[in-house]
Amino acid sequence: MSVKPIRLFGDPVLRMTAQPVTTFDRELRTLVKDLTDTMRDAPGAGLAAPQLGVSLRVFTYLVEGELGHLINPDLSLSEEEQDGPEGCLSLPGLTYDCRRAYGVVARGFNMYGDPVTVEGTERLARCIQHETDHLDGVIFIDRLDTEQRKAALKAIREAEWADGAAPPVKVSPHSTFGRAL
């Protein structure tokens, strides 16, 4: 098992736009395994590579028994929307209602470079949108209305894990071709 530390809100890598994966090799498969092991240990419904300090367009998910990963995702969203509770492993213990598309069709690749399409509604759609947001430097509290966002930022300031100090920057064990902190 290769559980890695999860980067917390305030870490600059969480606000960076992740770079597309261009090499589907053993290092990428190790990254997918690390993401999966860390997500399951947390436990969480999804985990994106930037949350481990790796600025590449990769995420894993585990929703209602469906385990998977997606690389270089491209999303098509339904017009129908849903509101529902959302949390994030980079904001431990905080949950807020967030508006998302009800359905999603996500196209990308698996860790071997094979094309993959994932279709989902409700919780799976929410998870895929949430993790893809991480790849674009967006955190779910950015999508909250003004009042909820203020409440979330206040809760973050008061959280035990938010000591106000700049987060430590650690070198990723994965090759990122110079695209990570």
pLDDT at 180: 45
In this predicted structure, which of 1-5, 40-44, 152-156 has the lowest mean pLDDT?
1-5
Task: Encode pLDDT of 84-121 as tens digits.
Answer: 999 999 999 999 999 999 999 999 999 999 999 999 99
Residue 40, classified by CB atoms within 10 Å of its CB into exposed (0-12), middle (13-18) or buried (19+), is: middle
Whole-structure pTM value = 0.87
Could you tell me which of 124, 105, 126 has the C-alpha nearest to residue 115?
Answer: 105
Q: What is the DSSP string of the chain?
A: ----PPPPTT-GGGGSPPBPP---SHHHHHHHHHHHHHHHHTT-SEEEGGGGT--BSEEEEEETTEEEEEEEEEEEE-S-EEEEEEEETTEEEEEEEEEEESEEEEEEE-TTS-EEEEEEEHHHHHHHHHHHHHHTT--GGGGS-HHHHHHHHHHHHHSTT--SSPPPP---SS--TT---
Q: Is 80 a catalytic residue?
A: no
CA distance 141 to 151: 10
Mean pLDDT across the chain: 90
The residue-averaged pLDDT of 141-166 equals 84
Residue of 66, 122, 131, 147 marked catalytic: 131
pLDDT at 163: 65
Task: Encode pLDDT of 164-180 as tens digits.
Answer: 444 444 444 454 444 44
pLDDT at 165: 47
Q: Is the pLDDT of residue 81 over 70?
A: yes
